[in-house]
Amino acid sequence: MNRLFYLFSTGMLMIVAVLAVEPPRAFGQAAALSAAESYVPPMGLAAIVLRPQALIGYPTYPSPSMQRMPIEVAEAWGQEYLGMNPLSIAEIKVIVAMPTGPQPPQFGLVITTLEDFNPDKMDPSLLKASGPVMQQNRKIYPLAIPDSPVDMVLEMVNARTALISDPLMLQSMRQSAQGAGPLAELMKKNPIGSAHGQIVFAAQPLRPFAQQIANNPPSDVPPQFRELIEGVALINAVVVRMKFDNGTFVARAEVLADDAPSATKLHRAADSAIEFIKETMLDRIEQDMSSSEPGPVNDAFVSYLKRIIDEMVASYRPKLSDDRVVLDFRADNSIATTGVLVGLLLPAVQASRQAARRMSSSNNLKQIGLAMHNYHATFNHFPPAAITNATGEPLLSWRVALLPFMEEMELYNQFKLDEPWNSEHNLLLMDKMPRVFSDPSLAIPPGIAGGLTNYHLSIGDRLLINPTGKSRFAQVTDGTSNTIMSIAGNEESLRPWTSPDYPEISLDDPLAYVIRANGFEVGFADGAVIRMSPEIDVETFKAMLTRDGRETINR
């Protein structure tokens, strides 16, 4: 594991946990911070500024809320690995800059603390074994970051200000102590104020790329988004400020345009896109919930989600303010927020239902496989493809023959085995299909009567079950773990469960009756059930179907 990343992440998680629960405090150490634009190089694109001290209030932080936090652990962690108290971090500024050549964007950190920080006291494992080096009377600490594509170094500007970046970015930041370029100017004109965090993005350096996107929008973009994409060339900058206000997260995003007319175009495009997203969400909810059990509760849930989405969209519509488009966001424990979370979790709920249905289908195939084994143990062969009369005419399905081995002897005794499945007597038993033959993961087309099943045995020449004659384990020379016994087919494979008719699996097109968009289950002759991807290789699937093909299969 990347040790430096682990340690840094641990410390940041502790700080974030504090930010989430502690009410704002007066920041009496503001003098310790440099100007917002400090160390921002000319090629800067974006900056993220976090001021945890506005909430922590070090060193006078022991309050009722803070006392519930692992203060001692955070302090001990910092002293052991960093040689300082991490709760004394006053500001963290992350700067992203334009890449130099065909490289990813550069980034650097400016960390300001309220107490002196000496890298010589850091855990040695966080630094390269070569130790610090002197460059032009500056002490540089190479950081030990395994597998990093670039070397990262640390330099102390003074006892309470640290710069971390790659050597090239470090030099650019060092030379821009007072800030330089569009991003620095933007941060100077849009200070963080009383906010606890800020994101600033300068779009000017990317204006040529934005213009290309605006002039050549993708052809498949919905018309409701086309005007918004064309408007990216009008964006001058984006400023986002965040704050915790008595336990409530408050944020304001401002999209700055070149002038007021450009801002008006952006506002119109954003409003149209939001309306389209809202309608799309409502349609998606109706589609997702249509697969649930119908009824007043389901209808009420859909109505509730629609109402909440309408209210939230109305609250978060962007506003026009001179040369900028403004979006305010407020997150607390209100009923509305809960409703939105429910809406966001809806796909996960639907996914869990689908997973439960697939699990039920898998269990059905396992029961069928167990019954097949018990049948073979009793008669020394598998059930025939169909129950026939004296002349060999198919009358009933193999499923009827398996009933005694599925604790369905009473139902089995009700059949007249010398009559076809659709005789006047046997047809009455169609509606008594055991649940083991019902696949809950398959949507039965509307208007089709019950008693249909998509569970089939692998019947055919060279397959497990001979269409005629007796089939035995001894004939499975490929091995039971490599040979498919049963299949959960698709809608086209649906057959009356008592009918001897079955979908013929052709080795020329073996996936015809089984392929489904989300995959399908198959049962092997050893009793295992495996879910197959819809993109399974045809030749591999064909090899799994044959009982004596001598193929090599990695199941």
**pLDDT tens readout for residues 506-548:** 888 888 888 888 889 999 999 999 999 888 889 999 999 999 8
Q: Is residue 394 over pLDDT 90?
A: yes
Using CA atoms, how far residue 166 sits from 2, 50, 93, 144, 150, in Å, is 17, 21, 15, 12, 7
- pLDDT at residue 353, rounded to an integer: 60
Provide the residue type at 107 as one letter. Answer: F
- If one compares 407 and 99, the residue with the highest pLDDT of the two is 407
What is the rounded average pLDDT for all residues in the chain? 82
Mean pLDDT, range 211-235, rounded to an integer: 80
Using CA atoms, how far apart are residues 394 and 501, in angstroms rounded to an integer?
Answer: 8
Helix (H, G, I), strand (E, B) or coil at 446: coil
Strands, E assignment, 370-492 = 386-388, 394-397, 452-453, 455-457, 484-488
Q: Is residue 165 over pLDDT 70?
A: yes
Domain annotation covers residue 340: no
Domain annotation covers residue 497: yes
**How is the chain split among helix, strand and coil, in percent rounded to 5?**
40, 20, 40
Using CA atoms, how far apart are residues 90 and 369, in angstroms rounded to an integer?
Answer: 65
- Select from 300, 332, 364 the last residue of a domain: 332
**Upper half-sphere CA count for residue 83 (Cβ side, 13 Å):** 12
Residue-number span of the structural domain to which 230 is assigned: 203-237+247-332
Percent of the chain whose predicted confidence (pLDDT) is above 90: 35
Q: pTM for the complete prediction?
A: 0.54
Domain annotation covers residue 346: no
Q: Does residue 286 share a domain with residue 399?
A: no
Domain annotation covers residue 59: yes
Q: Does residue 6 share a domain with residue 149?
A: yes
Using CA atoms, how far apart are residues 237 and 49, in angstroms rounded to an integer?
Answer: 16
**pLDDT tens readout for residues 67-77:** 667 777 888 88
CA distance from start to end of the chain: 32
Domain annotation covers residue 27: yes
The string of DSSP codes covering 120-182 is GGS-GGGB-TT--EEETTEEEEEB--TT-SS--EEEEEETTEEEEE-HHHHHHHHTTTT--SH
Highest-confidence segment of 185-194, 223-232, 302-311:
185-194
- pLDDT at residue 31, rounded to an integer: 43
Q: Does residue 327 share a domain with residue 385?
A: no
Report helix angle 3-21 to 71-81, nearest 10.
Answer: 150
- pLDDT at residue 238, rounded to an integer: 93
Q: Is residue 9 over pLDDT 80?
A: no
Percent of the chain whose predicted confidence (pLDDT) is above 70: 84
Q: Does residue 210 share a domain with residue 197?
A: no
Strands, E assignment, 177-303 = 197-202, 235-245, 248-257
Mean pLDDT, range 189-206, rounded to an integer: 88
Domain annotation covers residue 70: yes
Q: Does residue 409 share a domain with residue 273?
A: no
Mean pLDDT, range 92-118, rounded to an integer: 86
30 Cβ neighbours under 8 A, 6+ residues apart: none
**pLDDT tens readout for residues 39-55:** 999 989 999 999 887 77
Query: What is the total count of domains within the chain?
Result: 3
Domain annotation covers residue 307: yes
Using CA atoms, how far apart are residues 306 and 21, in angstroms rounded to an integer?
Answer: 31
Q: Does residue 194 share a domain with residue 47?
A: yes
- pLDDT at residue 226, rounded to an integer: 80
Q: Does residue 150 share a domain with residue 211?
A: no
- pLDDT at residue 29, rounded to an integer: 42
